[in-house]
Amino acid sequence: MNLFQIFSDIEKIDGDAPERLAYYSRRNWLKMGKRVSAAVAAPAVVAATINDAYAQSSGVVAALNFALTLEYLEDEYYRTAIGTSGLIPASDLAVIGQISKHEIAHVALLKGALGAAAVAKPAFKFGTVFSSYQTFLTAAQAFEDTGVRAYKGQAGALLGTDQLTVALQIHSVEARHAAEVRRLRGLRGWITDGDTGAVYAGEEITAQAGVDLVSLTGKSAVRARESFDEPLTKEQVLAIAAPYLA
Amino acid sequence: MLTQQNEKPGTDTLLSPEHPSMILGRRLFLRYAGYTAAAGTLLVTACGKTDLATGVSPQAVDLGTGDIGILNYAYALEQLEAAFYTQVIATPYSGMSADEMTILTEIRDHEIIHRDFFKAAIGSAAIMGLTPNFGAINFNDRTSVLTTARTFEDLGVSAYNGAGKLIKDVNYLLLAGKIVSVEARHAATIRDLLSAKTAAFAGDDVVAPTTGLDGALMPSAVLAAAQPFVQNRITANLG
């Protein structure tokens, strides 16, 4: 399975489904009187919101399918771990179970929203990561921090849309997951010194929008880098995910 | 845009009316009032509550409109968080562990960096330094401090999530995105301090269990929730 192929396939999806889904989407949307508190909205309504993507641009669809692919990976990863006897200590099951619950929900949400345009679930291979709990946690951290950075990298494609709100609401949940997994490993919840490699490429910067944060605030470079999470491009994310694709 | 301020930001920050930055704040306010009046959007309303200790009423603050208004909105929230954690570290609650002290100090520094960044980035259109109202918080009590921290962090996450779609400039959207995930990391960490190794870090009270979505609130709802912690009356017209 080649992720690049998936994204190229998405580009070929034609216009029928978009119009059909947009019709239902508008109906649902009107029914809600445009007053949706997304935090408590039913999945169908949120899905309807995302369906407006079809009326907008293939860029939005591509961004959501990219997100769905990452959620497929995370979902299978945690469900497999929970199903692996003796892997997760009882003390940590509540945390891993809560994360898994969210990844299942994210897959259902994105898949339902994309409808016929949703990419198929790829086959994954996780190799030896389930051989020990610490190895499992290390990869979990990498997936979560990559997920945070990946959603951030797609935000621009969703500028000004309701789909952006949904993506941001998933993005911050991934950040909560990342922080908690890091804490299970005895680390800080935020990306910091010692976090290196492809997952953390570009996280070392200490200036934002041309403002040098260290000279501005007198705080350390470590605090400055921790204060802002950086985005990853789609290509960077796919390179990180490639070893896990069967 | 993004001109750096000349003055070094105050190290910190429970701002008394005598504090130099409050005097600066009055200066900025006059400048800002002129600016907004010229733009025809002056929305100064009745002042907030009077500071009983000094008899001085903090000035009302209008965040403005458009992307600058959103940036000022974020600046206001970061001011609130920075002032809160500064006080937490200045007067540690009884029984604060070394680990908690380190974590809360790091969070304080992140919030100060966020605050000062917004001030520098917004430049002359930045709102004044706000005067916090933390009277309802018992800084000597761990539960009072950490539950307030949880409120602020969750509110910050919801605020950035809800404001995202109001942002017009993609560069500002990315900046907000870079910060909101750090706030979410704070939120999860604080929640874990309150209830270690449970589902609380992303509990069903804040992440909807059926959709897996975090909160998203519009500015009006966020400002209503934040207002009790700020003496200045805050107004905005952000959509």
| A170·B214 Cβ contact <8 A | yes
Q: What are phi and psi of B50, to 5 degrees?
A: -75, 135
- Contacts of A10-16 with CB under 8 Å at 24 or more apart are A10/A58, A10/A61, A10/A62, A10/A65, A10/A117, A10/A119, A11/A58, A11/A62, A13/A58, A13/A61, A13/A116, A13/A117
pLDDT one-digit tens code per residue, A160-180? 888 999 999 999 999 999 999
Q: How many CB pairs under 8 A join A and B?
A: 224
Q: Quick check: B110 and A227 CB within 8 A?
A: yes
Tens-place pLDDT, residues B97-130: 999 999 999 999 999 999 999 999 999 999 999 9
| Domain chopping of chain A, boundaries | 3-190+229-244
Domain B20-235 has CATH 1.10.1760.20: no
CB contact under 8 A, B198 and A95: yes
Q: What pLDDT shows up at residue B58?
A: 86
Taking only the tens place, the pLDDT of each residue in B41-74 is: 333 333 344 545 556 678 999 999 999 999 999 9
E strands, chain B, where? 61-62, 234-235
CA distance B100 to B234: 32
DSSP character for B235?
A: E
Interchain contact A218–B (C-beta under 8 A): yes
How many angstroms away from the CA of A72 is the closest CA of chain B?
A: 14
Minimum distance, in Å, between the CA of residue A171 and any CA atom of chain B: 7
- Tell me if A176 and B160 make a contact (CB, 8 A cut-off): no
How many CB atoms are located within 10 Å of the residue B228 CB?
A: 12
pLDDT greater than 60 at residue A125: yes
pLDDT over 60 (residue A144) = yes
DSSP B7-58: SPPPS-----TTSHHHHHHHHHHHHHHHHHHHHT-----S-----TTT-PPP
Mutation site, A72, A168, A191, A203, interface B, largest B CB count within 10 A: A168
Across the interface, of B171, B179, B213, the residue whose CB is closest to A166 is: B213
Question: Percentage of chain B surpassing pLDDT 90?
Answer: 75
Question: CB-CB: which of A39, A208, A211 is closest to B216?
Answer: A39
**B4-13 mean pLDDT:** 38
Q: Does B66 touch chain A (CB under 8 A)?
A: no
ipTM comes to 0.81
User: How far apart are the CA of B176 and the nearest CA of chain A, in angstroms?
Assistant: 9
pLDDT at A22: 35
Put simply, the chain B residues between 160 and 189 with a CB less than 8 A from any chain A CB are 160-162, 164-165, 167-168, 170-171, 173-175, 177-189
- Averaged pLDDT, A55-78: 89
Specify the amino acid at residue A211. V
| Confidence class for position B33, pLDDT limits 50, 70, 90 | very low
Could you name the CATH architecture of A3-190+229-244? Up-down Bundle (1.20)
B94 at A interface, C-beta within 8 A: no
Angle (CA) A47 A50 A52, round 5°: 120
Q: Report the alpha-carbon distance of residue B97 to residue B106 in Å, rounded.
A: 14
Assess contact for B105 and B31: CB atoms under 8 A: no
Helix axes A162-184, A58-83, angle to 10 degrees: 30
Chain A nearest CA to B13, separation (Å): 13
Residue A51 CA to residue A64 CA, distance in Å, equals: 10
Among the partner-chain residues B106, B174, B197, the one whose CB lies closest to the CB of A231 is B174
Listed by number, the residues of chain A in 49-88 with a beta carbon closer than 8 Å to a beta carbon of chain B are none
- How many helices and strands, by DSSP H and E, does chain B display? 6, 2
CB contact under 8 A, A156 and B174: yes
Q: Which residues of B touch A95 (CB under 8 A)?
A: 197-199, 201
Q: What is the mean pLDDT of residues B212-231?
A: 97
From the CB of residue B53, how many other CB atoms can be counted at a distance below 10 Å? 8
The mean per-residue pLDDT over the stretch B148-168 comes to 98
The domain ranges of chain B are 20-235
Q: Which helix (H) or strand (E) holds B160?
A: helix B142-163
pLDDT bracket for residue A37 (50, 70, 90): very low
A97 contacts B113? CB cut-off 8 A = no
